Structure 1
Amino acid sequence: MKIKIFIFIILNSILLSSCIGVKKLKYLQPSENLQLNQYGLIPVAYEKYRIKKDDILTMTLITSDENAAKFLTNENTTYFKGGTNPNDGRLRTGGLIVDPNGYITIYGLGEFYVYGLTLSEVTDLVQAKLNQVLYNEGKAEVRMNIGSIKYYMVGEVSNPGEKIEQSNRIDLLQAIAKSGDLTRFADRRHIRIIREYPEGKKNITLDITRDDILNSPYFYLQSGDQVIIDPLKEKISGLGGGTTLGDATQFLSLGMQAIATYVFFKSL
């Protein structure tokens, strides 16, 4: 009788330890800490972006002066929104790469040190130089932006690797979706983001099982972010709660080893 009870306890412990609860897998579960605005909506929070080396910036020029865009070369210029009229005055460059020293070069305007600056600060620098070239402030308006976001997904994700988003905004859930979703072993409560700043790197931890993550300024990725998805302890211990034949064999083997150990010491 005692051995039956012991066997039951051993097998039950193995099964319980192999289970991954729904709360560990479900995204955006209700949280009391979720903050809403006066309209009952979730306010969007962004961390102000600061330019990094190897970033690709885009420059949009809006002007009615035909001479205002002459400093742009044909090689690095495309018509804005697919326009075909060279006199419409709405042009933008194909991409301004921030070099290893932190500079961008704009033909006709020169070099600009942009590393660590915000987009608005870079816009002000280029606008001031453009006004000098045109000899008349207000002839053209410059708008600087991020051309694309390059980030990295590693760990318990279906499709890890370098990712490039051809826009200037992507949130963490969108990045996960574009990577084929997380595996069943992913620790959704401790997703780490390594973010680079001019002063150094920061390790950020987010919990995507709670809906109050939507209030976090780190919910939106920035170019250069490294998203690390660590495994749950169930995978590390080998008791992953799986449904595969290999998992079932492993559970049975552990149970048989425990029973054999008990019988051996019982017979002494």
Structure 2
Amino acid sequence: MKYMRSHLGIFILLMALMICSCVPTRKITYLQESNTVKNDSLITIQKVQPPYRLQINDILSIQIKAPYDPELVSMFNTATAAAGQNNINPAQGGLYFNGYTIDQHGDIRVPQLGKIKALGLTLEELREHIEKRLLTEYFKENADLFVTVRLGGLRYVMAGEVGGKGEQVIFRDQVTIVEAIANSGGVPITGDLTNVRIVRQYPDGVKVHHLDLTQLDVIYSPYYYIQPNDMIVVDPLPQKSLGTGTTGLASFTTIISVLTTLVTTVLLFTRL
């Protein structure tokens, strides 16, 4: 009777371990609706984000056009011309070699204009500054000058329990954290979606923001849209460190293997 009780206790303990080791569906499902939100209901969100302030190591694409003075324009678009001559595709890294990188002093170097302070400015502020200088120093008011300043893709880093680690680039102006994760290969079943961290650079240092991607309410977070140079970190779930399996079948197989080994060991000792 005592022998039966000890085995029963071990069996109950193993079953509890199996249940605890399984990953619940609610921890691996993105953007779950709360009980207070009806299905298919319209959710209004504020998509307009505060303008991004340029940082050191940002890579910019600057295009200058003036249809009435193409020869003068060619003096400023040397980077674009070089990319065309070398058949470099910007989406394959061309901007790294031919774009305008903000150096450690916060400046960019533009042909003919020299150094221009870009650190801390928005794209629109930098565009207006360049356009003003061009009209003042080179072009006439009737030159129909057109200047565009864009980021060379939204660059971010994925780390932790994710499908694709390292630097990623999306050639869009606005990207949500869910889109960024999907672009890098997603999060495996062993990743913790309830506490995803964004490590973000600010002028005064680095801050860490936490997001629960299993809840639909995350779309209201000011950090739902990522910024250039963000680092997205996904921690592993405890189930991965336990090594007992992430699904019920995997855990059951592990438990059966352990139980079989235990019974064999007990029978071996009882026969001695």
TM > 0.5 between the two?
A: yes
Alpha-carbon RMSD across the aligned residues, in angstroms, is: 3.3
Indicate conservation of the 8 Å contact 1:17/1:239, yes or no.
Answer: no
Percent of residue pairs bearing the same amino acid type: 29
In the alignment, which of 212, 223, 234 is matched to residue 217 of structure 2? 212
In the alignment, which of 170, 176, 193 is matched to residue 188 of structure 1? 193
Within 2, Cα distance between the matches of 1:33 and 1:125?
A: 49
Q: 1:154 to 1:244 in 2, by over 3 A?
A: farther
Residues 125-204 of structure 1 correspond to what in structure 2 (within 5 A)?
125-134=129-138, 136-137=140-141, 139-204=144-209
Matching residue's letter, 2:19: L
Residue 122 of structure 2: aligned partner: 118
Indicate conservation of the 8 Å contact 1:187/1:231, yes or no.
Answer: yes
More helix by share: 2
Q: Which moved further from structure 2: 220-229 or 46-55?
A: 46-55
Within 2, Cα distance between the matches of 1:218 and 1:249?
A: 41
Matching residue's letter, 1:69: V
Q: Does 1:44 align with 2:47?
A: yes
**Displacement after TM superposition at 1:200 (Å):** 0.7
Within 2, Cα distance between the matches of 1:130 and 1:190?
A: 48
Q: Does 1:6 align with 2:9?
A: yes
Residues 215-254 of structure 1 correspond to what in structure 2 (within 5 A)?
215-242=220-247, 250-252=254-256
**Displacement after TM superposition at 1:131 (Å):** 2.1
Residue 91 of structure 1: aligned partner: none
Secondary structure of the equivalent of 1:20?
coil
- C-alpha distance after superposition, 1:70-122 (max 9, x if no partner): 4314443489xxxxxxxxxxxxxx62121222211111222111112222221
**Displacement after TM superposition at 1:183 (Å):** 1.0
Q: 1:137 to 1:31 in 2, by over 3 A?
A: farther
Residue 66 of structure 1: aligned partner: 69
Within 2, Cα distance between the matches of 1:220 and 1:78?
A: 34
Residues 13-92 of structure 1 correspond to what in structure 2 (within 5 A)?
13-31=16-34, 40-66=43-69, 69-77=73-81
Indicate conservation of the 8 Å contact 2:21/2:242, yes or no.
Answer: no
More strand by share: 1
**Displacement after TM superposition at 1:129 (Å):** 1.2
Secondary structure of the equivalent of 1:112?
strand
Matching residue's letter, 2:211: L
- Structure 1: 5+ residue stretches without partners: 80-93, 263-268
**Displacement after TM superposition at 1:226 (Å):** 1.0
- Structure 2: 5+ residue stretches without partners: 84-97, 267-272
Q: Does 1:109 align with 2:118?
A: no
Within 2, Cα distance between the matches of 1:117 and 1:259?
A: 70
Secondary structure of the equivalent of 1:6?
helix
- C-alpha distance after superposition, 1:200-223 (max 9, x if no partner): 111111111111222223222222
Using structure 2 for the length normalisation, give the TM-score: 0.76
Within 2, Cα distance between the matches of 1:29 and 1:124?
A: 43
Using structure 1 for the length normalisation, give the TM-score: 0.77
Q: Aligned residues, how many? A: 244
Matching residue's letter, 2:224: F
Q: 1:116 to 1:33 in 2, by over 3 A?
A: farther
Q: 1:250 to 1:40 in 2, by over 3 A?
A: closer
Q: 1:33 to 1:65 in 2, by over 3 A?
A: farther
Within 2, Cα distance between the matches of 1:78 and 1:134?
A: 22
